[in-house]
Amino acid sequence: MKRINNSVIALSLFIGIANINAQEKKQLTLDEAVQLGIQNSKSLKIDAAKIEEATADLLEAKNRQLPELKVSGSYMYLPIKPTIDLKIPGVSAAAGPEVHQVAYGSVNLSVPIYNGGRIKYGIQSAKYLVEASKLSTENDKIAIAYNVAQAYNNLFKANQSIKVLEENLTASQKRDETFLKLENNGVIARNDRLKANLQTSNIELQLLEAKNNYNIANINMDLLLGLPDNTEIEVDQNYIDEGSEVKAVDFYVNEARENRKDLQALAQQRKAAELGSKSAKAENLPSIAFTGGYVAADIPKFLTLYNAVNVGVGISYNLSNLWKENSSLRQSQAREKQLAANNELLNDNIKLDVNREYQNTDYSKKRIAVYEKAAEQANENYRITKNKYDNGLATMTELLDADAAQISSNVGVINAKADAALAYRKLLQTTGTLTIK
């Protein structure tokens, strides 16, 4: 009975471990991987904080147009009798009461009426900067989507290479068994059998390298997607079939000019800089505000003051502006020039990027046809060489060379298709039209 219980416990543990291992695998399409990458991106969390900062700056700018209401009060104890010299005729200060404490308070109100447009320019400039931050975030999302696609592509190629190499390793091992029997029967020489064994060892080394690449690619994907490090990701086999017909290069250049978020963000920054220059010019203008206040004071046995209400208009002007050069204006104008130069440079880079990725996409598609043709030739060559070898018309070396060429060509077809799918996504990224579903 005890042995049965132990067996049940062992079986339960085995099932539990199997379930845990099963949970470590996760099948993901490329679009699902992109969504996970965006949700768990550390860079986008930083971008979100930048948007919050820009929004806070906008709130600060809006607050400047609201009234300022300040309340102040003070209480003072006077340990030494103060000297009071009243200038009122007929009133003697010496006969006055002793003053040992003073309390007073005031309320001041200021409502801006005119300040040269600085408040208005500040609010609009802050709005542009908030929009620029949002556009920068969208641009980063597109970049992350491509980075995830690139990692997914590496994982896909490593996985497919493993499958091809495992199939060829199985076939090579079976061939080794056959050659061993032929050697034992004196049909082939020992040297030929060892050559076949060496070919098997080479395939095993290639398989080890492919598995190592797969493990590295899988860890990279786990980190990008925010998954546990031991999660094994199963890629979608239909990934390499994605894509569409490539249009003329001018189409993609125009798409980039209309859709690139970094270009749009730069345009918002330039608008903010223009308003910054206008605001700097307004520093040379006076500020006008409606003012109001209330004052109350109490000096025991001497003075009580309340209902001292005042209203009026206040004008403020910094006379030093008459001889000081407006450094804020010069800084803002320099900022405008920098942004204008950045805009020209970005446009040039966009044109270069689009043309480069267009050529890479075209090149990648052409590579597929070449690799497929090479694979057909390699497979046919192996079939013919194998037939010749079986009839004693080809050497073992020729057979093994034909087999190695067949493996390389078949792996090349898979890699070429995956690279073409990735190249098309890179082209879409440079145009700002990479879809994030």
Residue 122 belongs to domain with CATH number: 1.20.1600.10
Instruction: Report the number of distinct structural domains present in the chain.
Output: 1
Mean pLDDT by 10-residue block, N- to C-terminus, for the chain (437 residues)? 43 43 72 89 90 92 89 87 69 63 89 86 91 93 91 88 85 83 80 83 90 90 87 82 79 93 94 91 87 88 84 86 84 93 95 95 91 92 88 81 85 88 92 83
Cβ neighbours of residue 69 under 8 Å, at least 6 residues apart?
107, 108, 109, 110
Which pLDDT does position 17 carry in this prediction? 42
8 A C-beta contact, residue 278 and residue 128: no
Q: Which domain holds residue 140?
A: 30-66+114-290+330-431
Assigned domain for 94 exists: no
8 A C-beta contact, residue 92 and residue 275: no
Assigned domain for 303 exists: no
Which pLDDT does position 194 carry in this prediction? 84
Question: What number of CA atoms fall less than 13 Å from residue 384's CA on the CB side?
Answer: 6
Cβ neighbours of residue 285 under 8 Å, at least 6 residues apart?
115, 116
Which pLDDT does position 54 carry in this prediction? 93
Assigned domain for 309 exists: no
Assigned domain for 149 exists: yes
Which pLDDT does position 88 carry in this prediction? 65
Can you tell me whether residue 367 is helix, strand or coil? helix
Assigned domain for 354 exists: yes
Percent of the chain with pLDDT over 90: 34
Assigned domain for 84 exists: no
Assigned domain for 134 exists: yes
Alpha-carbon gap, residue 162 to 429, rounded angstroms: 30
